[in-house]
Amino acid sequence: MVAQQYLPPWFSVAPMMEWTNNHFRTLARLISKHAWLYTEMIAAETIIYQSGDLDRFLAFTPEQHPIVLQIGGSNLENLAKATQLARPYGYDEINFNCGCPSPKVAGRGCFGASLMLDADFVAKAMSVIAANSDVPVSVKCRIGVDNHDTYSELCDFIYKVSTESPTRHFVIHSRKAFLKGLSPADNRKIPPLKYEFYYALLRDFPDLRFTINGGINSVDEVNAARNEGAHGVMVGRAAYYIPWETLGHVDTAIYGAPRRYLTRRQVLEQYQKYGDSILGKYGKNKPNVRDVVKPILGLFHAAPRNGLWKRNADAAFQRCVTLKSFFEETLETIPDWVLDKPLEDEASSCVVETFANSKNLLPPPYAKKERENSEQERMYD
Q: Which residues are annotated as part of the binding site? A: 15-17, 70, 140, 173, 213-215, 236-237
The kind and range of the H/E element at 68 are: strand 67-72
The kind and range of the H/E element at 375 are: helix 368-380
Phi, psi of 348 (to 5 degrees): -70, 140
Q: Can you give the length of the chain in residues?
A: 381
Residues in binding site for FMN: 15-17, 70, 140, 173, 213-215, 236-237
- Local structure of residue 206 (DSSP, 8 states): T
Between CA 94 and CA 103, with CA 99 as vertex, the angle to 5 degrees is 120
d(C-alpha 7, C-alpha 11), whole Å: 10
Between CA 355 and CA 110, with CA 13 as vertex, the angle to 5 degrees is 90
Give catalytic status of residue 110 as yes or no. Answer: no
* 5 residue type, one letter: Q
The kind and range of the H/E element at 345 are: none
What count of other Cβ atoms lies within 10 Å of the Cβ of residue 61? 12
* 153 torsion bin: left (phi>0), alpha (psi -120 to 50), beta (else): alpha
Phi, psi of 340 (to 5 degrees): -105, 0
Any bridge partners for residue 177, and if so which?
Answer: 145
The closest of 260, 193, 199, 250 to 220, measured between CA atoms, is 250
Peptide bond into 66 cis (omega under 30): yes
Write b or e for each residue in 294-304: b if 16 or more Cβ atoms lie within 10 A of its Cβ, otherwise e.
Answer: bbbbbbbeebe
d(C-alpha 263, C-alpha 177), whole Å: 39
Write b or e for each residue in 118-139: b if 16 or more Cβ atoms lie within 10 A of its Cβ, otherwise e.
Answer: bbeebbbbbbbbbebbebbbbb
Catalytic site residue from 98, 100, 141, 320:
100
**Which residues carry out catalysis?**
100
